Structure 1
Amino acid sequence: MAHSWDPTQYLAFGDERGRPFLDLTARIGATSPSLVVDLGAGPATLTALLAERWPDAEVLAVDSSPHMLERARGVTGVRVEQADLRTWRAGRPVDVLVTNAALQWVPGHLALLPHLLEQVAHGGWLALQVPGNFEEPSHAIRRELAAQEPYAPHLADIDDPSSHDAEDYLRVLQQERCEVDAWETTYLHVLHGEDPVFDWVSGTGARPTLEALPADLRTRFAEEFKRRLREAYPDHGHGVVLPFRRVFAVAHRV
């Protein structure tokens, strides 16, 4: 079941969501690329950092969401293109291809990596980052609730994100004759507000679930979800700590 994106909700935690992007792109060794592509760029606020780093490059933000791209069109130095990352093809070889927090929405995306590498020029770079926190309470509670009545009949076909371990990405990319740097990091995000973990997940992983429910059930689901999240992530007076594992891989095509 397709869902839509709200760039305002997504950017509510812009600093926290931006840290993995910075850690990822810091490992890219390109010096003077001609074409830089951010695949699954969302509102392109982070794509703008690529334009700043390589001001002489053509920088392209690709996303399937018209709502995200509407925001992206206002970003200086970035051209936008609407496309599905599963079928997107570059018009010419890409020197730097970044996909940040997008592949987790593509089932079986390990099999997509060779196609993505085909878009990268020899000597170019592919850099990816995906969340690796899907067994954390923020996701486990959502799945548990979604499997219960009266919600389950409405949620059978929703998009459900998933990812792999760093070694899995490393092995696939190595098989494509790339030099690969793969790693993982767990960030401890300190969040503030009445229901900050709910606010976080409702902009990303829980959004398809909430959108798929009728309005009356959505309100009921959200209130129970909030209650359980408050129990799982208590505020001890200094904010709510949200551990968030991220998985990274940077491949140099040689």
Structure 2
Amino acid sequence: MADWNPGAYLQYTDERSRPFTELVARVPGSPTTIVDLGCGPGHLTPVLRARWPEAHVTGVDASPAMIERAREADPGTEYVLADLSTDEHRADLVISNAALQWVPGHRDLLTTLADRAAQTFAFQVPGNHDAPSHRLLREVAARAPYADVVGPVERRATADPGEYLEILARPGWSVDAWETTYTHVLHGPDPVLRWISATGAQPTLQALEAKDPALRARFEEEFGAALRAAYPEHAHGTPLAFRRVFVVATRV
């Protein structure tokens, strides 16, 4: 797919940052080196610095636009452009927030990533692949004329906490796995469309844009109408339920 859009991604910074803050709070010990896999535009590095101000942080991301934005916003941190599936950085803490679901076969990669952590391997991934937002994305994209352009939209299914526990619970490791469903209250016109357009729907939208900008606009209108029906606006805003899965694996 084409590159990410840091500006669009940062529209809901508070909502997207909260799971990472809660993940970090469950990481034990005092790592002196940290690798953040899928660091995005670097907006979460301050969370790591607040918890471990003396640690050396390295951010890794496969998106040139995200790495460029991170380096501009935070020139004092090392940010590296690399594929998460092949990156070989080692650190006391290897951590990842809402990124591993984009790596094909990420379950098979988990023990390798954990082995690169001297103390702790921690990650969070979305668990909302069957939420209305994602079901509707697949349904609308499967209709003509979009299907001929984008093909079947992949169901990027992540595992349940128990499955991640089974993968990572090996001799010498203690694993804490859990899930949380957040109910974000979004505001403004078509907030769920804006949310998913910056993340899960981005490959679909980019493919349509490359074919014909008018086709993308038509898709957004159709998809947006379906999302408005699934996520009606209330006086207090538009509630968006978002399930996330967390894992903290620590050497013992």
Give TM class, smaller chain: over 0.9
Q: Is the 8 A contact 1:191 1:239 kept in 2?
A: yes
Q: What do residues 101-143 of structure 1 show as CA deviations (whole Å, max 9, x unaligned)? A: 001111221110011012111xx01111000011111100010
Q: Using the alignment, how far apart are the partners of 1:96 and 1:159 within structure 2? A: 31
Q: Using the alignment, how far apart are the partners of 2:41 and 2:155 within structure 1? A: 21
Percent identical: 52
Residue of structure 2 aligned with 1:62, choices 60, 63, 71: 60
Q: Partner amino acid for 1:105? A: W
Q: 1:25 and 1:146, CA in 2 relative to 1: closer, same or farther beyond 3 A?
A: same
* 1:190 aligned counterpart, secondary structure: strand
Query: Are positions 1:181 and 2:176 aligned together?
Result: yes
Matches within 5 A, 1:46-85: 46-73=44-71, 74-75=73-74, 77-85=76-84
Q: Using the alignment, how far apart are the partners of 2:74 and 2:189 within structure 1? A: 32
Q: 1:104 and 1:245, CA in 2 relative to 1: closer, same or farther beyond 3 A?
A: same
What is residue 246 of structure 2 aligned with on the other side? 248
Q: Using the alignment, how far apart are the partners of 2:81 and 2:154 within structure 1? A: 20
Q: 1:85 and 1:144, CA in 2 relative to 1: closer, same or farther beyond 3 A?
A: same
Query: Are positions 1:106 and 2:106 aligned together?
Result: no
- Of 155-164 and 227-236, deviating more is 155-164
Q: Partner amino acid for 1:36? A: I
Residue of structure 2 aligned with 1:154, choices 141, 149, 170: 149
What is residue 21 of structure 2 aligned with on the other side? 22
Shift of residue 162 of structure 1?
2.5
Q: TM-score when scaled to structure 2?
A: 0.94
Q: Count the aligned residue pairs.
A: 248
What is residue 234 of structure 1 aligned with on the other side? 232
Q: Using the alignment, how far apart are the partners of 1:113 and 1:3 within structure 2? A: 26
Q: Partner amino acid for 1:174? A: A
Query: Are positions 1:5 and 2:30 aligned together?
Result: no
Q: 1:77 and 1:179, CA in 2 relative to 1: closer, same or farther beyond 3 A?
A: farther
Matches within 5 A, 1:126-165: 126-156=121-151, 161-165=156-160
Shift of residue 149 of structure 1?
1.1
Q: Partner amino acid for 1:19? A: R
Could you list the runs of 5+ residues in structure 2 that have no partner in the other structure?
Answer: none
Shift of residue 161 of structure 1?
2.8
Q: Partner amino acid for 1:47? A: T
What is residue 209 of structure 1 aligned with on the other side? 204
* 2:151 aligned counterpart, secondary structure: coil
Q: TM-score when scaled to structure 1?
A: 0.94
* 1:153 aligned counterpart, secondary structure: helix
Q: Is the 8 A contact 1:114 1:176 kept in 2?
A: no
Q: Using the alignment, how far apart are the partners of 2:8 and 2:156 within structure 1? A: 18
**RMSD (Å), alpha carbons:** 1.4
Could you list the runs of 5+ residues in structure 1 that have no partner in the other structure?
Answer: none
Shift of residue 160 of structure 1?
5.1
